[in-house]
Amino acid sequence: MKRRALALLCAGILAIGMLAGCGGNSDSKDSNAKTEESKTEKKSDGTFYVALNYMPTSLEPSTVSDDQTSLVRPIFEPLFVETKDGIEYYLADKVDISEDGKTYTIHLNEKANWSDGEPVTVDDILFTMEYAGRNSGGKSSYTTINRQDIVYTKKDDKTLEAVLPEPYATYTAAIGRMMIYPSHAFDNDYTKVEGSGYFNSTDIATSGAYTVSEINDDSIVYEARDDYYRGTPSVKKVVMKTIGSGSTKQVAFENGEISYMRITTPEELKKYEGDDNYNISSFSEARLNYLQINPYGPAKDKLTEDARKAIFLAINADEIIDTAYGSDELATVANSLLTPDQSLYNKDCKGYEQDLEEAKKLAKSSGIEGTTLKYVYNADRPNMEEVATVLQQQLAEIGVTLDVEGLDSNAFFQRFFAIMFQSGEEDQWDLGTNGWDSERGSSLGQAYSYINNSSKAWGFSDEAGQLAAKVNAAADKDEAQQLANDLQDLTLSEYWEYPLTYTNYVMVSQKNVTGLDAVPVVPEFVDYLKIKVD
């Protein structure tokens, strides 16, 4: 009898486990009521909870990946951040650029200090540059421009002079976003960093508003510094914890386990927009998603100018927005290779408009009709699969078939950037979508290195490259703007890159969490002082 009862009980547990999902989506009101209930039971402790995709093995201030940058934002600050409207200062408090655009004088904030009491100095900047170039004979994007050296001179502990070999507007953003290492922790010897385990401990000297309080198996806890030079943050504790992949993050958010999450689909936006339990924050991501035609792909002989024009005229960007993003709240149609967050952006640049009849004519006359083209996209980026589907349908209208392949980030970059990585895969794709992020400030940003690419990886003419170089070198703002306007028109007339969308960075947060959109920079959050958790 007992055994029968035990067996029945075990069978029952199995049955419950397997049938549990048949409940499906419950009524949202019930869900909200329960959420509200659980929230009133749990009073906020003013802690800001952030989801991590994976538990990191180091808290090194690296900008190699967005995840790592977001992870260390509370503890490491940039020198400054360039926006369309000017410079926002952090560890630095002044940047002077000479009239000829070649000499930069960067002054560090007198009060900027490490959490162990040591001042932030120019030695830390120089140390960081040395470390960045450790595998390439000292060369890095901080120390060279067009393969020529930048000359750095330490004027005093807080003042650094950089003399560029030529005027180079994109240098401003590059040097500004550098997150510096505490040189004193390594006796100013960059060879001591690797293998030291320094960034795996709670004793890290931090330059940001927080110090590392705990490193647990699945979470990292940061606590606010009392001696932070910009003031004490109102959020006293930031917890970064691993949350499972996929929908688990959404569950964790609705359970109140994390303070916010990013929204990338129209369904998510609709769900949370009308819900009073949450706040929606949105700002321009300063990102351009674009479609690139590969000058070295398998169909390169067929992709003449007329063929490329046929492809671009067949595209309906509004349909891409409607299908892939749902509305212009998540993304808007792009009209230029620059973003509206760049001061050189020309809002009057015409962009591409669909002309299906012309596209069909050109497809026929150029011989691209009836061709199959290989299309690649980064499957790790949001909305790219949907964009690929729409493009596939649109190009089918002119008789072009897309053989679509989604790749994870690593494989995608090796293929898309085959020329740069020297991977030998440049002949394995014809079309691909990619994005340029952090396209803000007073320069051409990433557009410059693509248009003025010495290896001609992206197809632009020498004329376009030279024009881009002129823009980057122009010290006079009006001159730079005029040249940039010409450049934006010229690049579009060459039909190599189709600017698809400017995306917005949309987040949903718990009702008591505000300030997430105070500084519109991604990877988030540059300024933790602006975040409030009531």
Partner 1 sequence: MAKYFVKKGIQLIIVTILISFFSFAVIYAAPGDISGMYLNEQMSDEEKEAIKENLGLNKSMPEQYWGWAKEVLKGDFGISLANHTSVSEQIIKRLPATLQLMGAALVLSVLLAIPLGLWSGYRKNTWIDNIISGLSYIGMSIPSFWLGMVLIIVFAAKLHILPSSGMHSVGNESFLDTVKHMIMPCITLSLSNLAVFIRYIRSNTIGQLGEEYVLAAKAKGTTGGKLLKRHILKNTLLPIITLLGMNLASIVCGSFIIESVFGWPGIGTLAMTAIGVRDYPVIMAYVMLSGIILVVGNFIADILYAFADPRIKREDMAND
**Hey, how many other C-beta atoms are within 10 angstroms of the C-beta on 206?**
22
Binding-site member from 92, 164, 243, 513 for partner 1 (CB under 8 A): 243
Site for partner 1, residues 110 to 139, rule: CB under 8 A: 135-137, 139
Report d(CA 153, CA 174) in Å as an integer: 18
In the complex with partner 1, the residue whose CB is nearer, 451 or 522, is 451
Task: Kindly state the smallest distance separating residue 391's Cβ from partner 1, in Å.
Answer: 22
Stretch that binds partner 1, among 90-98, 264-272, 393-401, 414-422 (CB under 8 A): 414-422
According to DSSP, the residues that pair with 288 across neighbouring strands are 436, 502
DSSP run (H or E) holding 48: strand 47-52
Site string for partner 1, 321-340 (x = CB under 8 A): --------------------
**Hey, how many other C-beta atoms are within 10 angstroms of the C-beta on 137?**
7
Report d(CA 369, CA 398) in Å as an integer: 6
In the complex with partner 1, the residue whose CB is nearer, 15 or 151, is 15
Task: Kindly state the DSSP code that residue 23 receives in the 8-state scheme.
Answer: G
In the complex with partner 1, the residue whose CB is nearer, 453 or 514, is 453
Task: Kindly state the smallest distance separating residue 251's Cβ from partner 1, in Å.
Answer: 4
Q: Give me the sign of the Cα torsion angle 468, 469, 473, 478.
A: negative
Tokens representing 202 are 């709670």
CA distance from start to end of the chain = 57
Report d(CA 417, CA 40) in Å as an integer: 51
Report d(CA 159, CA 389) in Å as an integer: 52
DSSP run (H or E) holding 393: helix 384-396
CA–centroid distance for 435 within its chain: 9
Residue 219, amino acid: S
Task: Kindly state the smallest distance separating residue 170's Cβ from partner 1, in Å.
Answer: 10
Site for partner 1, residues 245 to 304, rule: CB under 8 A: 245-248, 251-252, 254-255, 257
Task: Kindly state the smallest distance separating residue 197's Cβ from partner 1, in Å.
Answer: 7
In the complex with partner 1, the residue whose CB is nearer, 237 or 287, is 237
Report d(CA 524, CA 71) in Å as an integer: 9
According to the binding rule CB under 8 A, does residue 242 interact with partner 1? Answer: yes
Task: Kindly state the smallest distance separating residue 348's Cβ from partner 1, in Å.
Answer: 29
In the complex with partner 1, the residue whose CB is nearer, 67 or 318, is 67
According to the binding rule CB under 8 A, does residue 191 interact with partner 1? Answer: no
Q: How many residues bind partner 1 (CB under 8 A)?
A: 76
Report d(CA 113, CA 207) in Å as an integer: 6
According to the binding rule CB under 8 A, does residue 231 interact with partner 1? Answer: no
Query: For the chain, how many helices (H) and strands (E)?
Result: 16, 21
Site string for partner 1, 394-413 (x = CB under 8 A): -------------xxxxxxx
- Asked if 209 and 226 count as a contact pair (C-beta separation under 8 A), the reply is no
- Asked if 33 and 220 count as a contact pair (C-beta separation under 8 A), the reply is no
Task: Kindly state the smallest distance separating residue 196's Cβ from partner 1, in Å.
Answer: 9
Task: Kindly state the smallest distance separating residue 269's Cβ from partner 1, in Å.
Answer: 19
Stretch that binds partner 1, among 20-28, 261-269, 365-373, 460-468 (CB under 8 A): 20-28
Site for partner 1, residues 38 to 77, rule: CB under 8 A: 38, 54-58, 60, 64-65
Task: Kindly state the smallest distance separating residue 32's Cβ from partner 1, in Å.
Answer: 12
Report d(CA 516, CA 531) in Å as an integer: 6
- Report in angstroms the alpha-carbon separations of 259 from 201, 434, 511: 25, 30, 9
Binding-site member from 46, 86, 244, 370 for partner 1 (CB under 8 A): 244
Report d(CA 171, CA 138) in Å as an integer: 17
Site string for partner 1, 416-455 (x = CB under 8 A): ----xxxx-x-----------------------x---x--
Stretch that binds partner 1, among 106-114, 238-246, 468-476, 520-528 (CB under 8 A): 238-246
Task: Kindly state the smallest distance separating residue 403's Cβ from partner 1, in Å.
Answer: 16
Bridge-based pairing state of the strands 47-52 and 513-514: unpaired
Site for partner 1, residues 138 to 157, rule: CB under 8 A: 139-141, 144-145, 147
Tokens representing 132 are 């960045």
Site for partner 1, residues 490 to 519, rule: CB under 8 A: none
In the complex with partner 1, the residue whose CB is nearer, 188 or 422, is 422
